[in-house]
Structure 1
Amino acid sequence: MLLSILKLVRFKNLLLIAITQFLIKYALFEPFGIAITLSDLGFFLLCFSTVCIAAAGNIINDVYDLETDRVNDPEKQVIGRNISEKSALTAYIVLTILGVGIGFYLSNLIGRPGFSAIFIIISALLYLYATYLKNLLIIGNLVISSLVAMVIIIIGLFDLLPAITPGNKLTQSIIFSILLDYALFAFLINWLREIIKDQQDMNGDYNSGRNSLTISLGKERTNKFIFLIGLIPLILIIFYIYDYLFENIYAVLYALLLIVAPLLYFLIQLLSAKTKKQFSTLSGILKVIMLTGLLSIGFYQFILL
């Protein structure tokens, strides 16, 4: 049962969210003595709230994907086999209330009660994505990728923004710009992966009446579209290496070997990808790129200090 629950909430993805947020707090903010707002407990609650809302989003997505998953991944289906639909919906409600409730508490704690709307909007978008938005061409992919980027941005909003003063404005702005760079990276890589999953799940999507680039353009044209989008993070990362990291050989090697090289390999393999297995492999490569890219947050203290 425990394994089924972990599978349902996408435990590995939730772990990556938590690791990313902890790296931002303790490997980026603390080493540079950045002015912050949240205590360790407050930060833990923010992280816990984010994870709860993300887990709830994964659950409700699976609830509304039952028919599609029966075609695409019947062996991976959890709801209806190991966990009842009623139990899944109960878990979704509990996790959503927890996530939004903690968000409301934290927003008032930092003196920004209006920020509680962020948690409500994110939860609402996850529900709308599961029930409607993912059926819309491109829109669903863009929405879910934007929410992935918010995992990073929300740390800046709650921990950096309220602590800005005239004296530290420049330093805070530089750190916030780093967060925005990583948020853009997460957005682009996740967008690529969402379209790759559409390629992989074409049959189930078609049978459930869902629209996607694959269904609209065909696999070959969609591959070309993905290739063009994939060039954007590749160019931006190379520019970032040249502009910010070139003085640190270890940072350059890390970025080239663990981010740029896998991304190049992904683009090369993409051009000949046709089968579900090939697209599954490409999705896995993007997961690795996302992981190595986000883990690099922990290296800034060695690069800049």
Structure 2
Amino acid sequence: MLAFMQLLFRYAFLKQQEIPLALSDWQYGLLVLSTVLLAAAGYVINNIYDVGTDSINKPNDVVVGKGITETAAYNIYIGLNISGVAIGFILSNIIMRPTFASLFILIASLLYFYATTLKQIMILGNFVVALLLAVSVLIIGVFDLFPATTAENQAQMASLFSILIDYALFAFMINFIREIVKDIEDVNGDYNMGMNTLPVAIGVNRAAKIALGFAVIAFILSGLYCNTYFMQNKLYITVFYAFATVLAPLLYFIVKIFSAKSQKEFHHLSSILKLILFFGILSILVIALNIKYNA
């Protein structure tokens, strides 16, 4: 979904604007590849350190130690990281911003520390994962918009970057809630492994109420955003789309989490949030088409 999201923003949105972009198509492909490689590396290292909890929570999904050895998994992790950071270094030099390579190193480092340490710290691990997803949206602007910004197009570029920020915040909110729900779903394994996640620390019911609170905030903010930017600009197709795929499912989530008790129910709610995130990101295409249709 990460690659799809980045390609969507580039070709369904930025390419439709009359602006210069810093990266050519093949260079942007490298940016997408780099972020996917780093995300894959994060997935691998997370699986390595999650063998204990996954053996309890998802015994059928355990790969490390069954499908591949731990040594092989570490080698894959190192290879993915080196490749991702190297591509990031090349891209940073292509756009004449070599210091931007540090962003890829930071992402790789955060993913490592998340898997080894941060995920065991209440709320902080959830925050880091949500932040990294938001960064994968913002990195588009950093590499494709910022280097192509001039005094003449600064206002337009700033406006487009602000839209990316809006979507990054949306991705952060929904993914942050989802990470809490996933922790609730995995509470038994996390407890047995001595991890201090939110539901382990304060209990499932209280953690669910916190997730509910954040969901209500996300619902209100999304509704206000729809009214301010879509409704007032007469983007009625987008308004309908947002209601059907973001607001209504969020409301469903809010109602359902009240009574959710079992691991199966929380897994279902996690899937709902994943769909909200997907369709929320997809709205950039709907907006572009709606504007074109209205014009």
Query: TM-score, normalization: structure 2?
Result: 0.97
2:228 is equivalent to residue 252 of structure 1: no
Superposed, 1:203-222 pairs within 5 Å as 203-222=188-207
**Which of 18, 41, 44 is the equivalent residue of 1:56?**
41
- The answer on whether the counterparts of 1:35 and 1:172 sit within 8 Å (CA) in structure 2 is no
**Which of 20, 27, 46 is the equivalent residue of 2:5?**
20
**Counterpart position of 1:109:** 94
Contiguous gaps of at least 5 residues in structure 1: 1-15
Alpha-carbon distance between aligned partners in 1 of 2:163 and 2:118, rounded to the nearest angstrom: 30
Alpha-carbon distance between aligned partners in 2 of 1:271 and 1:300, rounded to the nearest angstrom: 33
What amino acid does structure 1 have at the position aligned with 2:106? I
**Counterpart position of 2:15:** 30
- The answer on whether the counterparts of 1:18 and 1:51 sit within 8 Å (CA) in structure 2 is yes
Residue 226 of structure 1 deviates from its aligned partner by: 0.8
2:25 is equivalent to residue 69 of structure 1: no
Partner SS, residue 211 of structure 1: coil
Residue 213 of structure 1 deviates from its aligned partner by: 1.1
Deviations 1:141-189 (A, max 9, x none): 1011100111100000000001111110111011101100000011011
Alpha-carbon distance between aligned partners in 2 of 1:189 and 1:301, rounded to the nearest angstrom: 22
RMSD: 0.8
Alpha-carbon distance between aligned partners in 1 of 2:262 and 2:249, rounded to the nearest angstrom: 20
2:283 is equivalent to residue 276 of structure 1: no
2:244 is equivalent to residue 226 of structure 1: no
**Counterpart position of 2:279:** 292
Alpha-carbon distance between aligned partners in 1 of 2:85 and 2:235, rounded to the nearest angstrom: 42
Alpha-carbon distance between aligned partners in 2 of 1:201 and 1:167, rounded to the nearest angstrom: 52
Residue 34 of structure 1 deviates from its aligned partner by: 2.3
What amino acid does structure 2 have at the position aligned with 1:248? L
**Counterpart position of 1:196:** 181
Residue 303 of structure 1 deviates from its aligned partner by: 3.0
Partner SS, residue 85 of structure 2: helix
The alignment of Structure 1 onto Structure 2 pairs a total of residues equal to 290
Residue 130 of structure 1 deviates from its aligned partner by: 0.4
Partner SS, residue 30 of structure 1: helix
What amino acid does structure 2 have at the position aligned with 1:206? Y
Residue 209 of structure 1 deviates from its aligned partner by: 0.7
- The answer on whether the counterparts of 1:32 and 1:301 sit within 8 Å (CA) in structure 2 is no
Deviations 1:212-269 (A, max 9, x none): 1101111111111111111122111111111111112211110001110000000100
Q: Extract structure 1 runs of 4+ deviating beyond 6 A.
A: none
- The answer on whether the counterparts of 1:245 and 1:303 sit within 8 Å (CA) in structure 2 is no
**Counterpart position of 2:124:** 139
Residue 135 of structure 1 deviates from its aligned partner by: 0.7
Alpha-carbon distance between aligned partners in 1 of 2:291 and 2:150, rounded to the nearest angstrom: 23
**Counterpart position of 1:157:** 142
Deviations 1:264-295 (A, max 9, x none): 00010001111101100000100110110011
- The answer on whether the counterparts of 1:160 and 1:172 sit within 8 Å (CA) in structure 2 is yes
What amino acid does structure 1 have at the position aligned with 2:261? K
Superposed, 1:151-190 pairs within 5 Å as 151-190=136-175
Alpha-carbon distance between aligned partners in 2 of 1:153 and 1:83, rounded to the nearest angstrom: 34
Alpha-carbon distance between aligned partners in 2 of 1:232 and 1:165, rounded to the nearest angstrom: 37
- The answer on whether the counterparts of 2:178 and 2:270 sit within 8 Å (CA) in structure 1 is yes
Residue 302 of structure 1 deviates from its aligned partner by: 2.1
Contiguous gaps of at least 5 residues in structure 2: none
**Counterpart position of 1:3:** none
Query: TM-score, normalization: structure 1?
Result: 0.94
Alpha-carbon distance between aligned partners in 2 of 1:24 and 1:226, rounded to the nearest angstrom: 28
Alpha-carbon distance between aligned partners in 2 of 1:114 and 1:248, rounded to the nearest angstrom: 40
Alpha-carbon distance between aligned partners in 1 of 2:199 and 2:88, rounded to the nearest angstrom: 37
Deviations 1:52-105 (A, max 9, x none): 000000000000111111111001111111122111111111110000000001
Deviations 1:178-210 (A, max 9, x none): 100000011011111110011001111011110
What amino acid does structure 1 have at the position aligned with 2:225? Y
- The answer on whether the counterparts of 1:110 and 1:158 sit within 8 Å (CA) in structure 2 is yes
